[in-house]
Amino acid sequence: MAILQAVLQKLSRKTPPATIDEPVNDLADRINRYAPLFALQEQKQFIEVVSESTGEVYQSMILAIDLMDGSMQLDEFFPNPSHECKPGEHFTVRHHNRGQLLTFTTPLRSVHLGMDAPIYTLVLPEAVGYRQRRVYPRINLSQQQPLTVRVQSPWRTPWYATARNLSAGGMRITVGGNVMEQLHHGALLPLCEFEFGPEFKIRCQAKARSFRFIRRPYRHTEISIEFSDMAPAQRLQLQQFINSLTEPDNTQAA
C-alpha cells in the first residue's frame, strides 16, 4: 500500500491537466501490474541484466519507473559493457527470489549520462511477475562417471563437452578452452547428442542460455543450454530416467 500511495503522489504531480480525470482504478491497476519492479526499486535490490547481443551479464538497480512514459531507468551496469550499448538493443532483466524468477526481455530506449555515470532507459514490458525458477528438476552428475556430450557450436565447430548437471529441459556443460566468441544469448547449437547406453540416445538441437569463461583450475567455458526441439516422448523418457536416479542428496531444488 505504501508503494501504491507513493507512486500515486508522484504521478499526480507530473500528470498534465488533460489527464487528471483518468480513472484512479485504471492507474492503480497499472501500478499493481508492475508492483514487483516498484518493490525492487524501493528496496534497492540488485537485478541481473543480460545483453541479448553479447551474452554479457551485469548487475544494476532500478532508479525510476515511469508509467506515463512506459519506461524504466537502470543505474550503470557492473561490470562495464565491453561494447557500446545502443537504442534498440535487447536486454533480459532477471531477479531471483526464494526459488522464483522474475524475467523479461525488452529493448533499450536510450542511454544518457547522469552524475558522470550512464543511465539506461528500457521499455516497460506489458506486465511482470515471478514464476517458478525451474520447470524440470535437475540432477548433478558425478565427475567420476562423466557424461560426454557431442555438441556442434553456432559456427558448426565440433565440441566434445562434459555435462555437469542435467534435466529434461537442458543441461550445463563444460568445453575446454575459451569459446566465448562463438556464443551469444540464445545462440542455436545445431547438434546436442549424448547417450546412457546403446538403447537410450538423445539427439536434438539446443540454445545457449548463459555462459562464462573460467581460468582455474583449468581454462574452460561453462555453458547452460536449453533443449529446443526434443520430441515430447523422448523428453518424457529422459525425465523418467532422471527420476530413477534422483536422490535427496544429489538433486537441486527447482
110-129 residue pLDDT tens? 999 887 899 999 999 988 88
Amino acid at position 203, single letter: R
CA within 13 Å, CB half, 224? 9
Q: Cα(120)–Cα(113) distance, rounded to whole angstroms?
A: 9
Burial of 37 (0-12, 13-18, 19+ CB in 10 A): buried
**Are residues 192 and 204 in contact, defined by beta-carbon separation less than 8 angstroms?**
yes
C-alpha cell recorded at residue 45: 535490490
Mean pLDDT value of segment 6-35? 64
Residue 86 Cα to chain centre, angstroms? 20
Q: Which residue has the higher pLDDT, 223 or 136?
A: 223
Of 140, 180, 167, 152, nearest to 227 by C-alpha is 167
Q: Cα(209)–Cα(225) distance, rounded to whole angstroms?
A: 5
H-assigned helices in the chain: 2-14, 24-33, 35-42, 232-245
Residue 181 pLDDT level (bands cut at 50, 70, 90): very high
Q: Cα(191)–Cα(225) distance, rounded to whole angstroms?
A: 11
Q: In this structure, what are the phi and psi dihedrals at residue 37, rounded to the nearest 5 degrees?
A: -70, -40
Domains and CATH numbers, the chain: 2-132 (2.30.110.10), 138-249 (2.40.10.220)
pLDDT(137) > 50: yes
Give the pTM: 0.54
Q: Which helix (H) or strand (E) holds 102?
A: strand 100-114
Residues in the chain: 254
pLDDT(18) > 60: no
Strand 138-140 and strand 130-132: pairing?
unpaired
pLDDT(217) > 50: yes
- Please provide the average confidence, as pLDDT, over all residues in the chain: 85
Of 27, 26, 2, nearest to 12 by C-alpha is 27
